Structure 1
Amino acid sequence: MDSSLLEKSNKLIEPLQHELLDLINGNREWEHLGEDNGVESDRIMTESGIQLIKAIGLINRQPQQIVDVICDYQHKSEWDDMCVESLMVQEFDPNYRVLYQRFWAPWPISHRDFVFASKVSNVGEDIIITAKSVETDLVPEKSGVVRGSINTSGFYLQKLGENLTRVTYLVSVDPKGSLPLWVVNQLGKKQCQVPYKLKVRLGDA
């Protein structure tokens, strides 16, 4: 195990859980983007101009069943059609690891890839998944692929009943490279449908 990578990951992930819970439960003013496929979406514009998306949907499954799909990195492309490669970089424990993922982008935009720490934690009967980009020499940058940055990302899976979960997805990604900000934010809006994609993958749509 790379102890320096663990230390760097801890410094990023530990405060992120509190940040996500504050964003979900706090009194921030969100701009409502609408409803599509049963998913309510909102956003906040960050100081950098890159939006932070919040998407909320209901899935008729237990939180752990949803976690099992989200964390099955080898099969992510089966519910996220933009993901073309997903690999394990380092596993600290079954619920805490560093992953590499590469995503398709339409021509002439280059593919984007990300190296990020991801952790699953229990919050009572609920589950929170946090993810944030981390720097490591274990995954060199590839020619023709732009290394993006996950500024904030996570799922809050709130158990509402025996087989009912409210899925709140939060994400803010900087794809880097020479993309106009409006293109960055337009791509970000596609992330609003992640709760619905999970619902489809679980056979609940």
Structure 2
Amino acid sequence: MPSVADPSQPRQEPQHEWEAASVDVAAWSKTQEAQMERSTVLEIFGSEHTETAIRKWVRALAPEHWAYIVDTETEYDLDRVRVLLEWQEEIPVCFQREECRMECKDVSAEILYDVLHDVEYRKKWDTNVIETFDIGKLTVNADIGYYAWKCPKPLKNRDVITLRSWLPMGKDYIIMNYSVRHAKYPPKKDLVRAVSIQTGYLILGGGPNSCTIIYLAQVDPRGSLPKWVVNKSSQFLAPKAMKKMYKACLKYPDWKKKHNPLHKPWLYPEQSTLPTISLSEVSVQHADSLENIDESGVAETKDDRGDASDEDSVN
């Protein structure tokens, strides 16, 4: 669910303007006889919001789209208003998100956490990656990184610069990121600079050799994408990527034994050799400041770009 901060209140840094939510959109849509496939929920902080104010938020978030206000719920104890919207056409990209959940047998939460952090290992198992590297650190549990990935042909490939933070919570772990701008890493001519509104992983420990991972991705790819891309991404690519990551986890202990086994700066910050970056060197990357690419008319073609075999080996 998108959540929006009241502009009359001071903003805290770093902050996320978007959050995952547990609201059952399908049930709410059915109750109000709204079209579920075109419905979303907007969350606005502050309990005093008129219909005019709500429409202002909708126009600010998706100026090129029109939505009907179907219903509202005010939660005074949480000081927020939830709004059920039905879009006139399709749901805007900024309101779309992917969410996957996977049970991981024979993989501990600690191993999965290491795999998600280990940049060198990602280059081995993530066949969609074009280039990835860490730029610098902000604190002991926050850094700035670059990631470029392959998109299904004939779409242009994408890249992103993100501020990532992580936190161990007993047996559980969380890793989150959102897009930022860095003057030394402007958009490249051969790639489309995408925007991570909020992306991350929640790892729930389930025992010494099992865990559950929940993956949330809310990304603006900067462009009008054809429907086959949206469908393929949600139905095939995201689940397949999760499966590939699980297989990589099974192989990680043996791989790590041969590749600097004691080096884990995400656990031992004193090992980090990254330069320190001041927060003043970066700023939140807003989508409207980037080029918008129209690829809505692109037809799907058969090739292996961005869709490698599950049997890729890690050596």
TM-score bracket, shorter-length normalisation: 0.7 to 0.9
Cα contact 1:130–1:154 (8 A) shared by 2: yes
In structure 2, distance between residues paired with 1:168 and 1:44: 24
Q: Which residue of 1 is the match for residue 173 of structure 2? A: 127
CA drift of 1:181 comes to 4.8
Unaligned runs of 5+ in 1: 1-7, 32-42
Q: Which residue of 2 is the match for residue 201 of structure 1? A: 248
Instruction: Tell me whether 1:48 sits opposite 2:48 in the alignment.
Output: no
Unaligned runs of 5+ in 2: 1-11, 28-36, 41-90, 252-310
Bigger drift between 175-184 and 192-201 goes to 175-184
Bigger drift between 56-65 and 126-135 goes to 56-65
In structure 1, distance between residues paired with 2:118 and 2:192: 24
Q: Which residue of 2 is the match for residue 57 of structure 1? A: 102
Cα distance change, pair 94–30 in 1 and its aligned pair in 2 (3 A): farther
TM-score by length of 1: 0.74
Instruction: Tell me whether 1:150 sits opposite 2:146 in the alignment.
Output: no
CA drift of 1:44 comes to 9.8
- Letter paired with 1:122: P
SS state at 1:203 partner? helix
Q: Which residue of 1 is the match for residue 159 of structure 2? A: 113
In structure 2, distance between residues paired with 1:9 and 1:183: 34
CA drift of 1:52 comes to 1.3
SS state at 2:222 partner? coil
In structure 2, distance between residues paired with 1:192 and 1:9: 33
**Partner deviation per Cα, 1:56-105 (whole Å, 9 max, x = no partner):** 11222221211111111233232221111001122124531111011112
Cα contact 1:82–1:103 (8 A) shared by 2: yes
CA drift of 1:201 comes to 0.2
- Letter paired with 1:11: Q
In structure 2, distance between residues paired with 1:11 and 1:163: 34
In structure 2, distance between residues paired with 1:78 and 1:9: 34
Cα distance change, pair 122–203 in 1 and its aligned pair in 2 (3 A): closer
In terms of fraction of residues, the more strand-rich structure is 1
* Aligned 1:58-97 pairs, distance under 5 A: 58-59=103-104, 60-97=106-143
SS state at 1:61 partner? coil
Cα distance change, pair 187–201 in 1 and its aligned pair in 2 (3 A): same
In structure 1, distance between residues paired with 2:212 and 2:102: 6
In structure 2, distance between residues paired with 1:164 and 1:90: 32
In structure 2, distance between residues paired with 1:30 and 1:166: 24
CA RMSD for the aligned pairs? 3.0
TM-score by length of 2: 0.50
Q: Which residue of 1 is the match for residue 14 of structure 2? A: 10
**Partner deviation per Cα, 1:126-147 (whole Å, 9 max, x = no partner):** 1111111112212111111110
Q: Which has the higher contact order (CA 8 A, sep 6+)?
A: 1
In structure 2, distance between residues paired with 1:154 and 1:182: 24
Cα contact 1:89–1:138 (8 A) shared by 2: no
- Letter paired with 2:166: V
Cα contact 1:61–1:164 (8 A) shared by 2: yes
Cα distance change, pair 72–143 in 1 and its aligned pair in 2 (3 A): same
SS state at 2:181 partner? coil
Cα contact 2:158–2:192 (8 A) shared by 1: yes
In structure 2, distance between residues paired with 1:197 and 1:107: 20
In structure 2, distance between residues paired with 1:129 and 1:65: 14
**Partner deviation per Cα, 1:28-48 (whole Å, 9 max, x = no partner):** 3469xxxxxxxxxxx997552
SS state at 1:135 partner? strand
